[in-house]
C-alpha cells in the first residue's frame, strides 16, 4: 500500500520508537550546517568552518556534518579554510531565495560558485513560472543550471509552503527530477510554512515513483524550521518507511538546519551543548 498523508500519525508513532542514539547520529551526519544571513561576514564564515574542522578531534566518536551551506560569495572562504575532506561545500545560487532573476545570471552564479569550490548547488524552482503553469521555463532552468555545474550535485528547492496542494508538490517534484535534479528540497527557510511532514510524504512518494520509473535515485532534503531532535527523527522515519534503508545515508538524505546540530548534540551527549 502506498503511503498517504493519512498515515502521518503512524509515522509519528514509529518516529518515537526511532528516537535513539543510532538514529540521532545518523541525523547529525546528514546535516547541511547552514549560515544564510545578510550579516554573514568572512570572519564569521571562517570561524564557522573552523568549528566543523575541530569537530572530529573534539568528538572523535561522532560523525561530522555532511556539508556547510553558504551564500556563493562565501564559498571561497569555506574552501580555503575547510580541512575535513568528508564535509561537502554547498552554496545557494540561482537567485536564491526568490529565483527572480535572469536565467543567464542564475547560470553564471551557480557556475562561479562551483568554480570557487562548491560541491553542491541549491537553487529554487522558479515559482513565478510554475504558478503560472509554465512548465517549460521550469524545466529549462533546472536543466540548464545542472548542465552548467557539471559533476556538482544540484538540489532543487520547491518552496512547498507556497504550493500547498499535494498535487502541485508532486508535480513540482517530477518537474525537478525529470530536469536533472540530484535532490529535491522542501524549502528555502525564508518563508512560512517551511518544511512540513505532509510535504515530505508527498515528495518521498514522488521520489519512489520516479525511481521505479527510471531507475535513478534522487535524494530528499527537508529544510526550514527543523530545529529539534524529534523533528529530525520524524523526517528520517518518513524516508525510511517510504524509500527504505538505501536512502538512509548523507548521499541521499540531508537536513537543512542551523539550530538542529546543537540540539542533536545535546541529546547525544545527554547535556546541553552549544558547539556551533
Could you give the residue numbers annotated as active site?
Answer: 122, 185, 221
Quick one: how far is CA 205 from the chain centroid? 17
Locate 36 and state its grid cell. 544564510
d(CA 195, CA 232): 11
* Alpha-carbon distances, residue 62 vs 35, 49, 59, 153, 264 (angstroms): 22, 17, 6, 25, 11
> How far, in Å, CA of 115 to CA of 105, rounded?
15
Greatest Cα pair distance in the chain:
52
Per the CB < 8 A criterion, the answer to whether 223 and 259 are in contact is: no
Cell readout for 138 is 521550469
Q: Report how far residue 186's alpha carbon sits from residue 157's, in angstroms, rounded to the nearest whole number.
A: 6
Q: 73: Cβ–Cβ under 8 A, 6 or more apart, which residues?
A: none
How far apart (Å, rounded) are the C-alpha atoms in residues 223 and 69? 12
Examine residue 97 and say whether the peptide bond preceding it is cis (omega within 30 degrees of 0): yes
Rg (CA), the chain: 18
Amino acid at each position: 500500500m502506498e503511503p498517504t498523508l493519512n498515515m502521518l500519525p503512524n509515522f509519528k508513532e514509529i518516529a518515537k520508537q526511532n528516537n535513539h542514539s543510532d538514529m540521532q547520529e545518523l541525523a547529525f551526519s546528514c546535516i547541511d550546517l547552514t549560515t544564510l544571513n545578510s550579516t554573514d561576514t568572512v570572519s564569521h564564515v571562517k570561524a564557522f568552518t573552523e568549528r566543523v574542522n575541530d569537530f572530529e578531534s573534539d568528538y572523535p566518536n561522532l560523525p561530522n556534518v555532511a556539508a556547510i551551506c553558504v551564500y556563493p560569495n562565501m564559498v571561497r572562504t569555506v574552501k580555503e579554510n575547510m580541512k575535513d575532506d568528508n564535509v561537502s561545500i554547498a552554496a545557494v545560487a540561482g537567485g536564491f531565495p526568490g529565483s527572480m532573476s535572469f536565467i543567464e545570471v542564475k547560470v553564471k552564479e551557480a557556475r562561479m560558485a562551483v568554480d570557487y569550490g562548491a560541491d553542491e548547488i541549491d537553487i529554487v524552482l522558479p515559482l513565478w513560472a510554475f504558478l503560472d503553469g509554465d512548465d517549460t521555463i521550469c524545466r529549462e532552468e533546472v536543466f540548464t543550471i545542472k548542465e552548467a555545474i557539471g559533476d556538482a550535485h544540484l538540489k532543487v528547492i520547491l518552496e512547498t509552503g507556497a504550493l500547498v496542494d499535494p498535487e502541485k508538490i508532486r508535480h513540482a517534484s517530477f518537474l525537478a527530477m525529470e530536469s536533472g535534479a540530484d535532490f529535491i528540497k522542501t524549502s528555502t527557510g525564508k518563508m512560512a510554512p517551511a518544511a512540513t511532514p505532509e510535504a515530505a510524504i508527498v515528495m518521498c512518494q514522488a521520489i519512489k515513483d520516479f525511481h521505479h520509473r527510471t531507475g535513478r535515485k534522487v535524494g530528499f532534503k527537508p529544510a526550514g524550521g527543523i530545529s529539534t531532535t524529534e523533528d529530525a527523527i520524524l523526517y528520517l522515519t518518513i524516508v525510511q518507511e517510504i524509500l527504505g534503508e538505501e536512502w538512509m545515508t548523507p548521499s541521499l538524505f540531508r537536513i537543512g538546519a542551523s539550530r538542529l546540530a546543537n540540539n542533536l548534540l545535546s541529546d547525544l551527549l545527554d547535556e546541553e551543548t552549544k558547539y556551533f
